[in-house]
Amino acid sequence: MPENSSKPELLRRMVEHISVLYPNVELEALAKELISAMGLEVTAEPPRPHRNLWDQADCLLITYGNSIVKPDEKPLTTLKRFIDDYLQGAVNSVHILPFFPYSSDDGFSVMDYLMVNPALGDWEDITAIADNYKLMSDVVINHMSARSRWFDNFKKRLDPGKDYFFEAHPDDDLSEVVRPRNSPLLTEVETADGSRYVWCTFSADQVDLNFKNPAVLAEFVNIIRHYLSRGVKIFRMDAVAFLWKEVGTPSIHLQETHEIIKLLRTLVEHHSPDAVIITETNVPNRENLTYFGNANEAHIIYNFSLPPLLLYTLLSGDCRHLKTWMMSMPPAQAGTAYLNFIASHDGIGLRPLDGLVDDEHREELVKAIRKFGGKVTYRKSREGVDKAYEINIALYDALKGTMEGGADHWQSQRFICAHLIMMALEGVPAFYIHSLIATENDYAKLENTGHNRSINRHVWQEQALYDALADKDRHHQIIFEQLGDSLRLRCQQPAFHPNATQFTLHLGTGVFAFWRQSIQREQSIFCLSNVTRSEQLINLADINLIGTDQWTDLLSGETLADLEGQLKLSPYQTVWLSNLLVSDTLAG
């Protein structure tokens, strides 16, 4: 009989994880230490596997804690009021981007993981939001601020911190390391033991942590437990692909990185069976998919290829690349899901287009974004040439026209079309706050910071935002109202469950179309979007609608009278053809 067979399941699984990471330590002792750090007993009951922790009612708002401000009020209080007053029934989950004290990168250079940035509020403000919404917090797990206490102790050669940061030497073979930045990989620092070189994947102010030291892993188990105690239910593992480093390798997606995610999931799900882990891995599509593991790593992964593909589709009027990608995507098995988004606090990454869109078409996209006032961030490829890595632009401005024709009067319709496609796809939809309210490029902030990403990180004064959302002559009000109504409609449709069946339809290059069917098969929805600025005619016979059902466009309320006739789609119009009306759904 295997040695581990008589051990409690939690202890057995932890020993298996640790044996991959730290084969030379006393495995069971470290396993028990980490279990205790999570506040668990070794006999803790395991959760039921392959359980979907989401349904069609789930929609996530992505926002900084201070995206909306009011004089003399804590921004977290202002944010909660906006969500309560304006987004009821539209979103039920909130991702507050890093709300901790930080030194740079708008929060992603964390100085103290256990404090709330006093400029935003305090833990009570965080808990107040968590009491009413599913709260998502970043776990900035790859790196920490060079101004943190841990790094100060590293330089002083004191604990905790002395061995918490990853070191290498300029003479090491670092030629294979995959980088998302052009900044130097190693930063020289003076310590009490002399000069040392620390590994900095992103910037000299963001020093990579050393997970080869099990004490660092134990620290993060404590951090996650603290977040759970404050009401956090969704954990976004920031930049996790770079977590484990090995000199002489690419130092991305290493086996140990995947094992740490598995280990943390094991602990989190034993502590809180309804908690969710999301991995943030802005990499090519095939690499991204590996973070599902065998339904034992991330519960949810970001659909990073969707934003640039959908943007390309609407700017070119050609959905071929988007269709090809969607047909290649495996359905997420039960207990896992995709997170669908088009815009976020970062730019729109172009690396997820690798293998999906050739360099010529990618350059067409980059040129269009420049024409619409956006910026482009570059990194050096392995061949030593600068390559467009990320486009930086507010999504509303990114969709102001087409590649061929330039700016036009279809901007708002194109923008709404993009989001109607996104929210109907398999997965959980997520809206960056500046997309939900159609914020435009913030050139003043861009000039002030000198960082390209600032163009899409506007801070609204509360009264100015409320005035914009009340003015029927402004695009903010029109778009916000239509997107909100569509989200409230969407959350009632079982065919939009994140794990409902999805098939791609082929209706030409100008119409992006797919079919969703609910898990219980009581509802079908055919989602058709005209991605061009020309009218499109669709033969309904090509869609193969069941003749014994009555089909209604959920968005307009119009019922199809002749299933053998034609459907006329105006430029950028979307229809959701359903055999089950909202009233039927509610009654069911």
* Residue numbers annotated as active site: 238
Residue type, 245: K
Query: HSE-up of 397 (CA within 13 Å, CB side)?
Result: 20
What is the rounded (10 degree) CA torsion for 141, 144, 149, 155? 120
What contacts 290, CB < 8 A, 6 or more positions away? 253, 258
Q: Is there a binding annotation on residue 286?
A: no
Q: Is there a binding annotation on residue 143?
A: yes
**Cα(526)–Cα(577) distance, rounded to whole angstroms?**
5
**Cα(584)–Cα(444) distance, rounded to whole angstroms?**
49
**Cα(234)–Cα(347) distance, rounded to whole angstroms?**
22
Q: Is there a binding annotation on residue 157?
A: no
Considering only CA atoms, which of 224, 50, 40, 249 is closest in space to residue 137?
Answer: 224
**Cα(522)–Cα(259) distance, rounded to whole angstroms?**
39
**Cα(485)–Cα(15) distance, rounded to whole angstroms?**
49
Joined tokens for residue 417? 């079309």
Q: Is there a binding annotation on residue 17?
A: no
Joined tokens for residue 310? 């959908």
- DSSP H or E run through 386: strand 386-392
Joined tokens for residue 62? 């992505």
Q: Is there a binding annotation on residue 238?
A: yes
Tell me how far CA of residue 555 lies from CA of 61, 513, 574, 582, in angstroms: 22, 15, 8, 11
DSSP class of residue 182? S
Instruction: Count the Cβ atoms, other than its own, within 10 Å of residue 190.
Output: 9
Given the structure tokens 């660092």, which residue do they identify?
216
Q: Is there a binding annotation on residue 136?
A: no
Beta bridge mates, 349: 390
CA 374 to chain centre: 21
Residue type, 334: A
Helix axes 359-371 and 306-316, enclosed angle (nearest 10):
70
Annotated binding site for substrate: 105, 143, 236-238, 345-346, 453
Annotated binding site: 105, 143, 236-238, 345-346, 453
